[in-house]
Amino acid sequence: MDNGDFMWYIADLFTLGVQYGGRTELCNIFTSIAASNMSLQLSVVKQYGDKKGTTLDQYDRVSLSNTTMNY
């Protein structure tokens, strides 16, 4: 995964938060973590995404190029 793929993941997490009523929850997550602790922020964001059903591996350009239908 490169930086572009990761940034799409972060952008979609925020969009999901706003669209589905989780904006306050997501904002509280970020305000409760010190801005200087990037590794903790990233792990908490990943946990939030996993909880919402959005995982990092879904945003890798290799996996996005896979057109196989998963029924």
Is residue 70 in some structural domain?
no
Q: pTM value?
A: 0.62
Is residue 69 in some structural domain?
no
Decide: 32 and 45 in contact? Cβ < 8 Å.
no
Please count the other Cβ atoms lying within 10 Å of the Cβ belonging to residue 59: 20
Is residue 39 in some structural domain?
yes
Is residue 9 in some structural domain?
yes
The total number of structural domains that make up the chain: 1
Mean pLDDT across the chain: 79
Give the structural domain span for 27: 3-64
Is residue 50 in some structural domain?
yes
Is residue 71 in some structural domain?
no
Percent of the chain at pLDDT > 90 equals 0
